[in-house]
């Protein structure tokens, strides 16, 4: 499974990129607004830090305006993935851009039917929002399972399942077991994947026992 980070905070992206675990970045208008940065300049900076796909979302909702915005965003860097909503107009834009070799992330997916349409339109990624479904009492991970099974049964569909609205590490693990291609997570969730109390306890014991030996691996 690939790990994308869902943030517009450049420092967080730089820190995670240094670990070698980061395969891409997703942003959205809400994250851009929270960052307070200039959208275009920020996307350019992120693309310099991360060689993998960087999702930059269109701001319009009509076909003509979305297409123009998507075409422009695609010129910012070779690894820009144009992000469009899962609407009829958004899928028309997806078809147009993907047909010309631009990576497209179709976002705000909440049903298997929508995921099928995105794949038919040539989406590089489809982004089902598991946390938002959980919030309204529906089964977010059940949606991931259905989409993965559907894509696996239709091998001519090349769209990757990009699990979004991830709320906790269990979402990531369950998605990986189901065969999802990508999970995009806030930085805090990625850091939680490192954590286990037995790791902390074991390391503390190793450090204490090493100190008792009075030895050093490197001379001062």
Residues marked as catalytic: 83
Q: In whole angstroms, what is the distance from residue 63 CA to residue 182 CA?
A: 27
Closest CA to 58 of 101, 10, 97: 97
| Cα distances (angstroms) measured from residue 111 to each of 29, 60, 97, 177, 182 | 22, 23, 23, 20, 18
Task: Please check whether residue 81 is in contact with residue 103, taking contact to mean a CB–CB distance below 8 angstroms.
Answer: yes
Look-up: residue for tokens 């696996």?
Answer: 152
Check if the beta carbon of residue 29 is closer than 8 Å to that of residue 55: no
Structure tokens at 161: 């399942």
Give the count of beta carbons closer than 10 Å to the beta carbon of residue 181. 17
CA nearest 180: which of 149, 209, 203?
149
Q: How far apart are CA 138 and CA 28, in angstroms?
A: 23
* Most distant CA pair in the chain, distance: 71
CA–CA distance, 123 with 105 (Å, rounded to integer): 6
């Amino acid at each position: 499974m690939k790990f994308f980070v869902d943030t517009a905070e450049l420092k967080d992206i730089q820190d995670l990129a240094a670990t070698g675990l980061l395969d891409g970045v997703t942003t959205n208008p809400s994250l851009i607004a929270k960052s307070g940065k200039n959208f275009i300049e920020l996307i350019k900076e992120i693309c310099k830090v991360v060689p993998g796909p960087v999702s930059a979302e269109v701001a319009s909702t009509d076909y003509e305006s979305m297409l123009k915005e998507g075409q422009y965003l695609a010129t910012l860097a070779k690894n820009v993935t144009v992000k469009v909503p899962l609407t009829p107009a958004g899928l028309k834009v997806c078809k147009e851009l993907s047909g010309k070799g631009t990576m497209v992330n179709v976002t705000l997916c909440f049903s298997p039917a929508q995921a099928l349409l995105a794949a038919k339109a040539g989406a590089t990624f489809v982004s089902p929002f598991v946390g938002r479904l959980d919030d309204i009492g529906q089964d977010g991970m059940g949606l991931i399972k259905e989409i993965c099974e559907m894509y696996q049964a239709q091998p001519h569909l090349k769209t990757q399942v990009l699990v979004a609205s991830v709320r906790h590490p269990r979402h990531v693990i369950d998605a990986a077991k189901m065969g999802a291609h990508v999970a995009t997570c806030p930085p805090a969730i990625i850091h939680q994947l490192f954590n286990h109390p037995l790791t902390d306890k074991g390391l503390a014991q190793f450090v204490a026992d090493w100190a008792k030996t009075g030895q050093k691996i490197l001379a001062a």
